[in-house]
Amino acid sequence: MHTCLLKNARVIDPSQGIDRTADILVEAGKIKRIGEIGTEAERVIDASGLIAAPGLVDMHVHLRDPGQTQKEDILSGCSAAAAGGVTSLLAMPNTSPTVDSGETVRYILQKAQAAKARVYVAASITKGLKSEELCNLQELRDAGAIALTDDGRPVVNTGFMARAMALAPALSMKVVAHCEDLYLADGGIINEGEVSQKLGVKGIPAAAEDAGTAREIALAAAYGVPIHICHVSTAASVALIRDAKRRGVMVTAETAPHYFAFTQDALLKRDADYRMNPPLRTQCDREAVIEGLLDGTLDAIATDHAPHTPHDKADFEKAPNGSIGMETSLSAALTFLVHTGRLKLGEVIDKMSCAPARILGIDAGTLKTGAPADIVLFDPEERYTVDIAKLHGKSKNTPFKGMELKGKVKTTICGGIVVYEDK
């Protein structure tokens, strides 16, 4: 029986209210015990000076598989995940073909069996993400999908969105919403405002996101069903979600590291790696996102990991939206939230591990006895510079390139197996 022992770590597990120095014994892929433990194990890891936390759960990832594997595939994406301390992830459905059939769900889950992280599948709400025909949700659930979304696009047909939200709870599926009014967005590529005017490019008004957020909250309130709001980037959307929670609406929400790390000013260099959807916003929006994380309005931090090739990103105005993020997400959260004094370590771990697991209803985000031994070991003080040549995924389009970050993943364990070591 395979055993592994982590010695002298500072164990932080918000799911149990644990924050103390202790050892962790792993046996047969499960957490056996946390406490003061001897040294008898097949492998002993000296974790002195390191934080041991539940493996991160990234609930918003684009693996590009099937159909766009030149950008990323399931195995390469999970290697990137492991390097960032991510042991569970939710794969989005805007692949080619779209994840709108049981066959495609099964393909992803089968391929993921050889991966370095646990892959959960979000299937699409409408066929081909076209908002013209509702998918067979029961078929998708039977095949193994746990969530529903047309992410990359909103569900334009409000009736389809309402029906999916109404049906999902009985299927134990989470509906995940990309909030955007496409008529307001109208083909814009960055935030509408001072920077878009300076660059002479078409902008996306914040109202496009806010209108979408308001619609999904209204549906959740009207029908008494849950909704999860993706990649929140505006002050108004944060306020809408805060008010909805106060009113008892069953809404949860996530943001991404680039929204609390950068503003639209980063786009002045005309580098398409800083273009994503929703776009980088104003300093006011950035502060509102951080406040939303601080007061619990925003439940989770996810990456919206969106790989693209250098060729894809070569032209600032024609490039597709998206940036990669799994390898830098924890470091970015430590740098911009913990080391600035805005959030505590335990709060960040909760938003990157425990809360996403709770929202998705998966067996993750905890170091409880008997739980899967998914663990991240990291040094919160180690500084490093993000070198795209050393990243583990196929694509290198990170907005954090060349930046010094404070906090580094040292070891990642998934199912009791060491899947990443910083060397």
**Strand segments (E) across 37-193:** 43-46, 51-54, 56-61, 86-91, 118-123, 147-148, 174-177, 190-191
| % of the chain surpassing 90 pLDDT | 98
Query: At what angle are helices 102-112 and 74-83 packed, to 10 degrees?
Result: 50
CATH code that applies to domain 55-360? 3.20.20.140
Label residue 117 exposed, middle or buried (CB < 10 Å: 0-12, 13-18, 19+). Answer: buried
Tokens 């697991």, residue? 357
CA distance 63 to 65: 5
Extract the tokens encoding 258: 């680039």
Residue 389 has pLDDT above 80, yes or no: yes
Q: How confident is the model at residue 418 (pLDDT cuts 50, 70, 90)?
A: very high
Convert 143-178 to b/e letters by CB count within 10 Å (16 or more is b).
Answer: bebbbbbbbbbbbbbeebbbbbbebbeebebbbbbb
pLDDT digits (tens, 9 = 90+) for 60-69: 999 999 999 9
Q: Mean pLDDT, to the nearest integer, of 103-129?
A: 98
Label residue 27 exposed, middle or buried (CB < 10 Å: 0-12, 13-18, 19+). Answer: middle
pLDDT digits (tens, 9 = 90+) for 331-388: 999 999 999 999 999 999 999 999 999 999 999 999 999 999 999 999 999 999 999 9
What amino acid positions are annotated as catalytic residues?
A: 304
CA distance 26 to 42: 10
Largest CA distance in the chain: 65
Residue 1 has pLDDT above 70, yes or no: no
Extract the tokens encoding 151: 């992410």
Q: Mean pLDDT, to the nearest integer, of 300-319?
A: 98
Q: DSSP 3-state assignment of 227?
A: strand
pLDDT at residue 40 in the model: 82
- Break the chain into its structural domains and give their ranges: 3-51+372-421, 55-360
pLDDT digits (tens, 9 = 90+) for 204-213: 999 999 999 9
Strands 375-385 and 404-414: antiparallel
Measure the CA angle with vertex 156, ends 153 and 159; round to 5°. Answer: 135
Q: Mean pLDDT, to the nearest integer, of 141-160?
A: 97
Q: Which CATH number fits domain 3-51+372-421: 3.40.50.720, 2.30.40.10, 2.40.50.140, 3.30.420.40?
A: 2.30.40.10
Q: Mean pLDDT, to the nearest integer, of 110-115?
A: 98
Cβ pair 229, 243 in contact under 8 A: no
Q: Mean pLDDT, to the nearest integer, of 246-253?
A: 98
Residue 140 has pLDDT above 80, yes or no: yes
Q: How confident is the model at residue 25 (pLDDT cuts 50, 70, 90)?
A: very high
pLDDT at residue 2 in the model: 87
Q: How confident is the model at residue 151 (pLDDT cuts 50, 70, 90)?
A: very high
Residue 293 has pLDDT above 80, yes or no: yes
pLDDT at residue 423 in the model: 85
